[in-house]
Structure 1
Amino acid sequence: MINYHEPLFRPPSEAHSLILQVSLGCAWNKCAFCEMYSSKTFTLRKEKDVFADIEAMSPYANDYRKVFLADGNAMVLSFDKLSRILDQLHATFPRLTRVSAYAIPKDIAAKTDDELQALAAKGLKLLYVGIESGDDELLGRINKGEDFASTSHALQRARKAGIKLSVMILNGLGGKNYSQQHAINSAKMVNEIQPEFLSTLVLSYPYGEAHFMKKFDGEFIPLDTIGLIAEMKVFIENLNLSQTVFRSDHASNYLILRGNFPRDKQEMLNRINAVLDDPANAKLRPEWMRGL
Structure 2
Amino acid sequence: MITYDEPLFRPPSEAYSLILQVSLGCAWNKCAFCEMYSSKQFRVRPEADVFAEIESLSPYSDQIRKVFLADGNAMVLSFDKLSRLLDKLNASFPKLNRVSAYALPRDIESKTEEELQILADKGLKLLYVGIESGDDELLQVINKGENFKRTSQALQKARQAGIKLSVMILNGLGGQKFSEQHAINSAKLVNEIQPEFLSTLVLSYPYGEDHFKQKFDDEFIPLNTIELIAEMKVFIETLKLNNTVFRSDHASNYLILKGNLSRDKEELLNRINGVLNDPANAKLRPEWMRGL
Distance in 2 (alpha carbons) for counterparts of 1:158 and 1:270: 33
Pairing 1:40-119 to 2, within 5 Å after superposition? 40-119=40-119
Residue number in structure 2 paired with 1:145: 145
Matches of 2:280 and 2:241, distance apart in 1: 32
What's the CA shift string for 1:50-109, capped at 9, x where partnerless? 001111111111111100000000000000000011001011111100000000000000
2:164 and 2:291 mapped to 1: Cα distance?
A: 28
Alignment-derived partner of residue 26 in structure 2: 26
Partner of 1:280: 280
Match of residue 259 from structure 1: 259
**What SS does the aligned partner of 2:251 have?**
coil
Partners of 1:175 and 1:62 in 2: CA distance: 48
* Equivalent residue letter for 1:111: K
CA distance in 2, matches of 1:230, 1:22: 40
Percentage of matched positions with identical amino acids:
80
- Alpha-carbon separation, structure 2, partners of 1:106 and 1:131: 12
Corresponding residue for residue 180 of structure 2: 180
The alpha carbon displacement at 1:9 in A equals 0.2
TM-score (normalised: structure 1): 0.99
Structure 2 CA distance for aligned equivalents of residues 179 and 98 of structure 1: 37
- Report deviation, 1:291: 2.1
1:181 positional shift: 0.1
Partner of 1:37: 37
Match of 1:3 in 2: 3
> Which shows bigger deviation, 56-65 or 31-40?
56-65
1:111-143 per-position Cα deviation (integer Å, ceiling 9, x unaligned) = 011100000000000000000000000000000
Name the SS for the 2:84 alignment partner.
Answer: helix
Measured in 1, the distance between the counterparts of 2:60 and 2:251 equals 31
Q: Could you tell me how far apart the structure 1 residues matched to 2:125 and 2:265 are?
A: 27
Offset at 1:244? 0.3
| Alpha-carbon RMSD | 0.5
Moved over 3 A (4+): none
Report the AA paired with residue 61 of structure 2.
Answer: A
Deviation string, structure 1 residues 202-230 (Cα, Å, up to 9, x no partner): 00000000000010011000000000000
Q: Does 1:200 align with 2:206?
A: no
Aligned length: 292
* Aligned counterparts of 2:210 and 2:261: Cα–Cα separation in 1: 37
Partner Cα separation in structure 1 for residue 291 and residue 149 of structure 2: 33
Distance 1:80 1:2 in 2: 24
Distance apart, 1:163 and its partner CA: 0.3
Tell me the residue number matched to 1:249: 249
Q: Unpaired runs of 5+ in structure 2?
A: none
- Unaligned segments of structure 1, at least 5 residues: none
Between the aligned partners of 2:131 and 2:291, the Cα distance in structure 1 is 21
Aligned to 1:210: 210
Distance 1:243 1:261 in 2: 6
Separation in 2 of the partners of 1:9 and 1:125?
19
